[in-house]
Structure 1
Amino acid sequence: MSRYRVSMDIGGTFTDVVAYDEETGRYRATKSSTTPHDLTEGVFAALTALVPDPSDISFMVHGTTQGLNAFLERRGVKVLLLATAGAGDTYHIARGPRTRLYDLHYRKPEPLLPPRDVVEVGGRFDATGAELVPLDEEAVRAAAKRYAAEGFGAIAVAYLFSYANPAHELRTRQILEEELGGDVTVSLSHQAAKEWREYERTSSAVVEAYTGPVIRRYLARLEESLAERGLRVPLHVMQSSGGILRAASARRSPLQTLLSGPVGGAVGGVALAEALGRPNMICVDMGGTSFDVSLVVDGKPDISPEASLEGLPMLMSVVNIHTIGAGGGSVGWEEAGGLRVGPRSAGAAPGPACYGRGGVEPTVTDANLVLGRIDADWFAGGELDLDVQAAERAVAGLGERLGLGAVAMAEGVCDVANAKMAQAIRTITVSRGIEPREFTLVAFGGAGPMHAVFLARELGIAEVVVPRFPGAFSAWGMLQTEIRKDFVEPYFHVDEDLDRADAARRLAALAEEGLRALADEGVPESGRRVEHAVDVRYVAQEYTLTVPVHGADEPAREDFVEVVAKRFAQLHEARYGHANPGAPIEFVTLRTTAFGDLGRAEAERLAAGAGEFPHRVAPVVFGGEPRDTVVVRRDDLAHGHAFDGPAIVVESTATTVVPPGFTVSIDAIGSLVVRDEEKA
């Protein structure tokens, strides 16, 4: 009988797997080194350690950075873009603002294809969707011949006003499939992003075409391998929005999975916020390569209707995550007599010097090992032996160039890394008017708990929570999510011209579409629900805020415009620090999100403990001096145990470092709750 709910998270350095036993109610987690040459090797190495027989799996979800890495490393496929005649330069003209005003070397973002790979096609609709010029089908067939002759890997189609009438884009795909066969990858802009703004919609279609074949091939191979090993349930994939969908759906809409890897932790943060009764959380995920920051505000993830990667925009629902190159594998280096840390990472191969795989450059992990903050004998649960002397040689070598000893150099590497990470947290909080001191800091990832308390002290945050299995928390978070499908419809009306009955009918139609989509995803009727919102702006403004709508029938109410205007003013005040109540507003986009509950793995409760717990005392460097420090295995701690820092808590997926001046307690679900003694 199938009994395990399993999640898999592939990172740049490690692949994490979490399994929840539905019979016993217990979790297990493990990790293996990511295998860049064939990611499925790392997946199965970790999976078989927990669930040897995939036929025992009742639910499986997967998050991957495969598409994101293809984008960042510019190893996607060659894309041919079909654009409306006369508007072929839209993608390369892009937008005019300089995002770094005082950067003398600023250059516009590099597009994913050159101007010569844009083909203009005759045909035109107006803004209402009325046809002005019929589609030039011969131009489409000529483009198909060029595609076949010049080695393109995908086609993006982005015609003007296709969000209002997609007929030309749909016909274009039919012609391309007639000419090139049904296996050709074609991304239509109205399907990638059914919204206004032709540049952003075009960019979304190009990104999907560029990364889509990579994602599709990877998912197809993973599904095939799992089926060969006996998996009998559908594979689900995380979306950038924090929801999941079946792998078959993900292959049809690969853009939605582009940021699927990092969002698991944000979803886990929402579940943790609910379990702990702390609605506001800053979630930090520090792995081997990167440091990701996301927010939980009032118990909900911070989600935006658009995203940008390396300056290229995409219109899709996405959990707001700020990422910098700072991880356990980040390399420390010298430049102009100063210390730099990251963004370059030693990765999984060769990895930090202490891994003994040929790495010689000092990393953040090496620095922590030199300071005694990592248990060399029980790193990753004892599965990886660390070479302390190799770490000391690497750190000391950098110290010689900067005139510092090994210990001082190690603390310097950690301090610089902490400063970069603290600034990343300020970017997503203080710069948006959010006071971090009013939030709880949740730390996860293999290296997150090692640095979290230092970050909290830097930012004035009084409480840090380290959940169970922190090194695999993103994978744990994937088990707490649900099916999510987003539907949008452009709807341009100023407040005084709004047809409230028509708006209600359109939202109801979107709701029906969403519920049908949930049925296609295998969601039982009792687990389906929809939520609605509308994008609003002040008249003559450019950008919008998303305002919740309480039911598809709410627009029919006589006071709907006044109610939405009030909600919009409150959101505007919170976001920008000012509002203009009474000013005319404009409705821009109707949004419906369909959610499907497939069940979830409940948080495991720990038995209460009393008295002493096994531990040892070892010297660990804090503030330049070795301090007697409690070293305890997390498995030996129970609900109710408490102790003072300095302390090191070791476990198979992470290490938590608690400097002097902080206390640690264990809550009912096994979280480490670290509090500043001065703020307690």
Structure 2
Amino acid sequence: EPLCEADFAPIVEKVRSEGVNAVAVCFLHSYAYPAHELRAREILREALPGVSISLSHEVAREWREYERASSAVMNAYVAPVVERYLLSLEEQLRERDMKAGVHIMQSSGGVVTAESARDKPVYTLLSGPVGGTIAGTALSERTGRQNLLCVDMGGTSFDLSLVVDGKASTTLETELEGLPLLMSIVDIRTIGTGGGSIAWLDKGAVRVGPHSAGSVPGPACYGNGGTEPTVTDANLYLGRLGARSLLSGEMSLDADATAKAIETLAAGAGMEPEPFAEGILAISNAAMADAMRTITVSEGVDPRDFTLVAFGGAGPMAAAFLAEELDIREVLIPRFPGTFSAWGMLQTDLRRDVTLSFFRAAAGVDSEELEAAFAALESEGRDAVLEEGIEAGKAHCERSADMRYAGQEYTINIPLEAGISAGELARRFHETHRQRHGHASPAAPIEFVNL
């Protein structure tokens, strides 16, 4: 039925009176019929100049309305801040006579222009750690190692991801602070363990993290006023860090401050300082090993089939312990682990992900209809990357489908190519389902959800 434009008047007044600077619009079936959302944006822009508008079908063109609305709200929430930041960045670069275009890392593992990033800033979620995964794919190509378990340990967090058969492991949905988001994203798992994680006592029991000393004041050994022992302090106390080993010797560590921090807390725990420092690292390593199991063993993946790549400022310090815990036979340490993620961003390509809801039974799907739907998606994707300056002959497309057993709620993404047979498609789905969930039902009907 027609859009009731009169309904917008009280909405506009409420937005204006409360000083709202961003609005998300989500209509129930906009993934299939976006005309009403597009008209809503026209009305809101005319009435509320300067207010950022996010449309759900542009952020996530899929049928699940709650997740689509959540994605649009998150996009609207970060849009004003990201827009200001990127506009300021571009202006400052112009003032410095930088003529190269600005590209922004995406969660999917590709980059887009700054203009595109301003339109869909939610796609930049976790893009920093994703740079490390993309660096892992480049390392995979250079070394011939197809399966890598990438771990990035910095000052505050420990980020994990997989490179499988030379490609970053991705997912099409994630959560942020309990909010579901529909988006193509490299599958990153994060826990609050890093070099700056603080050791503390909880009714006599030793805990490590999630609170971090950060870079200011930083660990006690930084000599910036920090008094609580951290993972970095434990490594220094045990002789695993040299007092002049940071920043190529440019930064000296305060061993006396570390000793005071470790010995004070050890006394409170009724322990000798050296075993106490070893305990800090054991607790930290155990938390990281458990996180590594969630992305491997819990997903039906054997970590023994992978090479461990450890990077970030603190990653290499824990690599050997983690490899031993998961029975991983080989560890790779980048030459400059602290800048590995930044290097990974230089290995990326321009990328656009496009999605179409496609509810069909796999067994009875019309192959011509399926091919036409993919052709339309590919045309849309090619147009998008051509607008960003890619030459037509250099663009290529990869296809996949979200599929499920009939009656299931959630889906599995299955890569496929043009002309794939129904039998091969079913085989891939059953095999992936068995690997992911430990079982499959070859006799059960399968259906498409999204292309």
Kept in 2, the 8 Å contact 1:243–1:484? The answer is: yes
- The residue type equivalent to 1:526 in the other structure is G
Q: Deviations over 1:504-532 (max 9, x none)?
A: 11111111111111111111223210111
Q: What is the match of residue 217 of structure 1?
A: 84
State the Cα distance separating 1:235 from its structure 2 match.
1.0
Does 146-155 or 377-386 show the bigger shift?
377-386
Q: 2:37 aligns with which of 169, 188, 201?
A: 169
Q: Deviations over 1:526-562 (max 9, x none)?
A: 32101111111111121111112213xx26xxxx322
Q: What is the match of residue 236 of structure 1?
A: 103
How far, CA to CA, are the matches of 2:2 and 2:376 in structure 1? 29
Q: What is the match of residue 485 of structure 1?
A: 352
Q: What is the match of residue 569 of structure 1?
A: 430
TM-score, reference length from structure 2: 0.98
How far, CA to CA, are the matches of 1:257 and 1:286 in structure 2? 20
Kept in 1, the 8 Å contact 2:20–2:51? The answer is: no
SS of residue paired to 2:32: coil
SS of residue paired to 2:275: helix
Q: 1:144 aligns with which of 12, 20, 31?
A: 12
How far, CA to CA, are the matches of 2:320 and 2:132 in structure 1? 18
Kept in 2, the 8 Å contact 1:141–1:175? The answer is: no
Q: Which structure 2 segments of 5+ residues have no match? A: none
Structure with the bigger percentage of strand: 1
State the Cα distance separating 1:259 from its structure 2 match.
1.6
Q: What is the match of residue 543 of structure 1?
A: 410
Does structure 1 residue 589 correspond to structure 2 residue 443? no
| Fraction of identical pairs, as percent | 54
Kept in 2, the 8 Å contact 1:141–1:179? The answer is: no
How far, CA to CA, are the matches of 1:176 and 1:141 in structure 2? 10
Kept in 1, the 8 Å contact 2:307–2:329? The answer is: yes
How far, CA to CA, are the matches of 2:363 and 2:244 in structure 1? 70
How far, CA to CA, are the matches of 2:424 and 2:298 in structure 1? 29
How far, CA to CA, are the matches of 1:378 and 1:342 in structure 2? 24
- Within a 5 Å distance, the mapping from 1:645-660 to structure 2 comes to none
- The residue type equivalent to 1:403 in the other structure is G
State the Cα distance separating 1:288 from its structure 2 match.
0.5
State the Cα distance separating 1:333 from its structure 2 match.
0.3
- The residue type equivalent to 1:572 in the other structure is H
SS of residue paired to 2:131: helix
Structure with the bigger percentage of helix: 2
State the Cα distance separating 1:582 from its structure 2 match.
3.6
Kept in 1, the 8 Å contact 2:244–2:250? The answer is: no
TM-score, reference length from structure 1: 0.65
Q: What is the match of residue 207 of structure 2?
A: 340
- The residue type equivalent to 1:389 in the other structure is D
- The residue type equivalent to 1:280 in the other structure is N
Q: 2:258 aligns with which of 384, 387, 391?
A: 391
- The residue type equivalent to 2:306 in the other structure is F
How far, CA to CA, are the matches of 1:350 and 1:144 in structure 2? 46
Q: 2:310 aligns with which of 443, 447, 450?
A: 443
- The residue type equivalent to 1:469 in the other structure is F
State the Cα distance separating 1:378 from its structure 2 match.
3.2
How far, CA to CA, are the matches of 2:195 and 2:183 in structure 1? 31
State the Cα distance separating 1:328 from its structure 2 match.
0.6
Kept in 2, the 8 Å contact 1:291–1:324? The answer is: yes
SS of residue paired to 1:404: coil
- Within a 5 Å distance, the mapping from 1:593-612 to structure 2 comes to none
Q: What is the match of residue 326 of structure 2?
A: 459
Q: What is the match of residue 196 of structure 2?
A: 329
Q: 1:579 aligns with which of 401, 426, 440?
A: 440
State the Cα distance separating 1:574 from its structure 2 match.
1.6
- The residue type equivalent to 2:29 in the other structure is F
Does 163-172 or 517-526 show the bigger shift?
517-526
Q: Deviations over 1:39-87 (max 9, x none)?
A: xxxxxxxxxxxxxxxxxxxxxxxxxxxxxxxxxxxxxxxxxxxxxxxxx
How far, CA to CA, are the matches of 1:381 and 1:531 in structure 2? 43
Q: What is the match of residue 374 of structure 2?
A: 507
Q: What is the match of residue 270 of structure 1?
A: 137
Q: Deviations over 1:85-129 (max 9, x none)?
A: xxxxxxxxxxxxxxxxxxxxxxxxxxxxxxxxxxxxxxxxxxxxx
State the Cα distance separating 1:327 from its structure 2 match.
0.4
Q: What is the match of residue 205 of structure 1?
A: 72
Q: What is the match of residue 28 of structure 2?
A: 160
Q: What is the match of residue 658 of structure 1?
A: none
- The residue type equivalent to 1:363 in the other structure is T
State the Cα distance separating 1:382 from its structure 2 match.
2.3
State the Cα distance separating 1:496 from its structure 2 match.
4.3
Q: Deviations over 1:146-188 (max 9, x none)?
A: 111112121011110110101111111100001011x211111
Does structure 1 residue 135 correspond to structure 2 residue 135? no
How far, CA to CA, are the matches of 1:397 and 1:222 in structure 2? 45
How well do the aligned residues superpose, as a CA RMSD in angstroms?
1.2
